[in-house]
Structure 1
Amino acid sequence: MVQKLKNYDFTLMITPILLAAFGLVMIYSASMVFAVVNEYKPTHYLGLQSVRFAMGLGAFIVCCIFPYKYYQKLIKPIILGIILLLIAVLLFGSNVNNAQSWIFGIQPAEFAKLALIMYLASVYSKKQEYIDQFSKGVLPPLILTGIILGLVVLQPDIGTASIIFLIACSVIFSSGIRLKHLLILIGIGVALLLFAIPYMITDERLSRFTGAYQPFQTPDSHGYQLIQSYLAIGNGGILGEGLGQSVQKLGYLTEAHTDFIMAIVAEELGFLGVVIVIGMLAIIVLRGIFISRKTKDSFGALLAIGISSMVGLQAIINLGAISGLLPITGVPLPFVSYGGSSLLVLMISMGVLNNIAMQVKKREQEPATEQQNNDSKVLYTNRGGKTWKNNLSR
């Protein structure tokens, strides 16, 4: 038992738990006035998120123990279940904030992120011998990826769809795809986007760009939320106004406990609090990338890079929205924002990543000769007499 504990990556175990626990504190601080206004107890949103945190913590522990390689055997029911849930959302789901994204109290699109990472990691790890062949090695998995993206876009949930697309790109690039094939895929993606733009553009979506890049032209409507975010960030200064002392959460910044929670962090804990939160997110992402490079199993390496990309991209899009660099898309800040589905998926992902890290440490304890034999079998593939390494090992 002691030996097993030594194999875990304690930095990667403690950091997401601390972030999620910090999120509970900030959710209570940011939501108590909003809860009272809506005739709930001040602890309403804290209580709901605490239950989800407990569920996520349990899932995290299970996934830390469960060998990640078994997900390859379960990938068919996992991906089929996600597709059925996404279809069910469109048929029977609940409409919240102009998006039909909820069913059975969860957001299947959040779970689709992790399911697609597992699917792409599994498929491309098996196609390493012919990954340089576009029609045979690269194209087939993209069909199912397109189906999942299409189902999420139809909700419509453009923010989540963007993250899923970017995650898929990161896994595909890391799988060892040729540059010319990558350029072909980018070209196809741009062509599809140009084709879809006339059907996707609505006054509401255009207003998000106006609100992001010209907020002071519509301060009472489209630009209101971003302006309130600016005020919260500006009021915080270096050390902040103090925990619980935010003014913007008093009805000015709408639903501040969700995707704009970092603005409240900035106001109450200042620039220092923001740096600490971003630093902890960076630790998770960089640690995941490091693990992906140390993993000699292609499936584990692609799975680690996909999970790291998911956390990093979601953080970038959220921070870009509250600072006006990107349009507001409703993407939550990982581990910190209010949201049960997002937190549960992230905690499961961290458990999977920790299990990969544990396998890396166990491998490092093997005799050097055995390691070299395993490396030559797993990491390298032979193509026409040429030895090749995937992008993760470059």
Structure 2
Amino acid sequence: MKLNRKTFDFLLMFPPLLLASFGIVMIYSASMVTTYIADQPAYSMMLRQLVWFGIATIAFLFACFFNYKIYQKMTKVIILILAILLVAVMLFGKEINYSKSWLYIGPFSVQPSEFVKIGLVMYLASVYTNKQEYIDDFFKAVLPPLVITSLLLGLIIQQPDIGTAGIIFSIACVVIFSSGIKFRHLSLLIGVGAILIVALGFHMMTDEKISRFTGAYQPFADPEHSGYQLIQSYIAIATGGLSGTGIGQGIQKLGYLTQAESDFIMAVISEELGIFGVLFVIVCIAVIVIRGFFIAMKCENKFGSLLAIGISAMFGIQTIINLGAISGLLPITGVPLPFVSYGGTSLLVSLFSVGVLNNIARHVNYNRYQEKVIETEDDRVEHTKIQNGKVSRNINYANSRKARH
């Protein structure tokens, strides 16, 4: 495919990079006091995020130029690598915030469950593209890929990381539904999957995990413990008002609101930048999601269409769950805000995924650009024929007049 500026989708390039840059600023604001108290440089978290931003930007640019159709041939290898990483977490992972979800590789720490989000989308998009001829057959087309999906979800729930497992399950349902399966098959899938996730989740639940659910809907019943975090989030949101207190001027991050730089960074944004800051983040993510679904509708390649739908759903679902947690509409599950929250793996996966989405958009734009070129060329040829026809008729008419005279 020929590279030119007309093939790039700038609505899928600028918003994610703008959000990631904005996130670095807000991470510094949210963490500078707590890191200083912990005898670390005030900019330490911001610096780590900046390093990951550099790595993620390279991944983003690579994904923009790497032909997305090649991923369809690599899905088996991708799934195998993901399974190995999740098993490695179970054996050698480090427990943080009551979840054993992290692998330390030298100076870097990675969260393999984040890679599962995009990897599973690629796998399901590839499998259901190949099964289009018999997609209505539940046992032949729909069920087999669910074995792999269930295996990966089981390993994530084992950590336990119920929030990430729920997101991945929801994304998988969107991709499977978009593949064209019957609605009753999807209903059966959602019902059984939800029951299994809830059952396994409660089996793996600790008192701390259960308190997140009770604290979400009755925070003032236990304001010192289970409801403390949500109440502090309420205070931050209420303090911000319309225009906020100003960047760096927030109070709740000063030891009151924990995880202010990661899961609850939107509460800090609301306090310091007000409703305008919140709307800026929501609009940027909405542009990415809506544009992604638009690209999916325009893409004539089934794999590309399902891949675009899965990536768009990933950003949309994760944003809804994060915003639901800080506002008390959903339990606190430790889900980061895409592009903005502190976390190198999350930022890497987010920028790489939107890079893949941009690559799909480039193929769509290139095909549409070629069609316009062909149409223009056809019109030019037709116009030339008409003009030649007129010239020919005029010559014949002139010759006939000469003959009469």
Question: Would the TM-score normalized by the shorter structure come out above 0.5?
Answer: yes
Q: Unaligned stretches of 5+ in structure 1?
A: 372-394
1:20 matched to 2:20:
yes
Hey, what's the Cα distance between the residues in 2 that align with 1:197 and 1:120? 24
Q: How does 1:1-394 map to 2 (within 5 A)?
A: 4-103=4-103, 104=105, 105-193=109-197, 195-196=199-200, 199-367=203-371
The one-letter amino acid paired with 1:272 is F
Q: How far does residue 196 in structure 1 lie from its aligned partner after superposition?
A: 3.2
Question: Are residues 299 and 151 of structure 1, via their aligned partners in 2, closer, same or farther at CA, if it must alter by over 3 Å?
Answer: same
The C-alpha deviation readout for 1:263-287, integer Å capped at 9, x for no partner, is: 0000000011101110111001001
Give, in whole Å, the separation in 1 of the partners of 2:257 and 2:201.
31
* Deviation for aligned residue 1:190: 4.1
SS of structure 2 residue aligned to 1:219: coil
SS at match of 1:185: helix
| Further displaced range: 360-369 or 137-146 | 360-369
Distance 1:158 1:33 in 2: 30
Aligned residues: 371
Opposite residue 155 of structure 1, the aligned amino acid is: Q
Contact 1:228-1:248 at 8 Å conserved across structures: yes
Compare 116-125 and 4-13 and name the one that shifted more: 4-13
Identical aligned residues as a percent: 58
Structure 2 match to 1:377 = none
Q: 1:205: how far off? A: 2.1
Q: In 1, distance between residues paired with 2:312 and 2:72?
A: 19
In 2, Cα distance between the equivalents of 1:201 and 1:107? 20
Does structure 1 conserve the Cα–Cα contact (< 8 Å) formed by 2:178 and 2:306? yes
**Paired residue secondary structure (1:95):** strand
1:73: Cα distance to partner?
A: 1.3
Contact map agreement 2:6 2:366 (CA 8 A) in 1: no
Classify the secondary structure of the residue corresponding to 1:101. Answer: strand
Where 2:13 maps in the other structure, the secondary structure is: helix
Amino acid at match of 1:144: I
Q: Which runs of 5 or more residues in structure 2 are unaligned?
A: 376-405
Q: Match of 1:35, as an amino acid?
A: T
Deviates most, 360-369 or 68-77:
360-369
Shift of 1:28: 0.4
TM-score (norm 1): 0.91
The question of whether the paired residues in 1 share the 8 Å contact of 2:238 and 2:271 is answered with: yes
Distance (whole Å) between structure 2 residues aligned to residue 46 and residue 206 of structure 1: 32
Q: Aligned-pair RMSD on alpha carbons?
A: 1.7
How many Å separate the matches in 2 of 1:43 and 1:359? 40
Change (3 A) 1:68 1:110: same
Q: Contact 1:34/1:255 (CA < 8 Å) preserved in 2?
A: no
Task: Describe the superposition over 1:189-220 as per-residue Cα deviations: whole angstroms up to 9, x where unpaired.
Answer: 24424643652343222211111111111111
Between the aligned partners of 2:203 and 2:172, the Cα distance in structure 1 is 23
